[in-house]
Copies of this chain bind each other. A is one copy, B any other.
Amino acid sequence: MAKSNNDSLFEAPPMAEQERMVEAILFATADPVSVLELTGRMPHGCDPAEALAYVRKRYEGRGVNLVKIGDAWAFRTAGDLGFLMQKETIETRKLSRAAIETLAIVAYHQPVTRAEIEEIRGVSVSRGTVDQLIELEWVRIGRRRMTPGRPVTFVVTQGFLDHFGLENARDLPGLKELRAAGLLENRPRPETVVETDEDEDDDQVDLFEDD
């Protein structure tokens, strides 16, 4: 590209101009554009590869970046700004009955295994229900139970306590209070609750002191 060249009549546009051209072509074309195609579209003597390198540099760190796709080039939204391409609508739904019951069992009986939850609810607990509670960050996996099979246990989280405005899970009203509040209309059988809970209660205390 030296000036002494005889081709100077057909001298290529200055590099800054070539950059503009690359910018415009890549902006307006519906598909990624190869260097070959750029060469075909830009004036004679242009060096699209070099111009591309400059454009790439210019758009580094910008909201759109020049990226290579196969052997073609295109502008793309910067990866970290993908969230702008979404319009979020937040919808609040009530937790399903199964989820509430499972959550209640975890809260009152923690740490509790899946088998225990099923036993208390009297129906099997779908994986989705527990997963949902974990996703909501209201339930997390606790220590494994030291029994055959070493099943995982579930406990409630700080997030759960925050959401429900509790200092700790022991603040949850007991059956007596529930009944006093009219939430338990029928004859209680308090023994059933406690029987196996002795050990677990200890655990529970540990747990909350850990937290």
Residues of A within 8 A of B (CB): 19-25, 27-30, 40-42, 61-64, 75, 77-78, 81, 84-85, 87-88
Residue in B22, B25, B40, B64 whose beta carbon sits within 8 Å of that of A23 in the complex: B64
Taking a contact as CB atoms under 8 Å apart, the answer to whether B88 and A27 are in contact is no
Taking a contact as CB atoms under 8 Å apart, the answer to whether B87 and A24 are in contact is no
Taking a contact as CB atoms under 8 Å apart, the answer to whether B87 and A19 are in contact is no
Taking a contact as CB atoms under 8 Å apart, the answer to whether A77 and B29 are in contact is no
13 further contact pairs, Cβ within 8 A, besides A21-B63, A21-B81, A24-B85: A20-B63, A20-B78, A20-B81, A21-B84, A23-B62, A24-B78, A24-B81, A25-B85, A27-B27, A27-B75, A28-B84, A28-B88, A40-B87
Q: A20-B78, A78-B20 are in contact. Are A27 and B63 (CB under 8 A)?
A: yes
Task: Return A201 CB to nearest CB of chain B, in Å.
Answer: 36
Taking a contact as CB atoms under 8 Å apart, the answer to whether B87 and A20 are in contact is no
Taking a contact as CB atoms under 8 Å apart, the answer to whether B29 and A63 are in contact is no
Q: A19-B63, A63-B19 are in contact. Are A84 and B24 (CB under 8 A)?
A: yes
Residues of the B chain whose Cβ atoms lie less than 8 Å from the Cβ of A62:
20, 23
CB-CB nearest in chain B for A82: B24
Residues of the B chain whose Cβ atoms lie less than 8 Å from the Cβ of A81:
20-21, 24
12 A-B pairs with C-beta separation under 8 A: A20-B62, A20-B78, A21-B63, A21-B84, A24-B77, A24-B81, A27-B27, A27-B75, A28-B84, A29-B85, A29-B88, A42-B84
Task: Return A178 CB to nearest CB of chain B, in Å.
Answer: 34
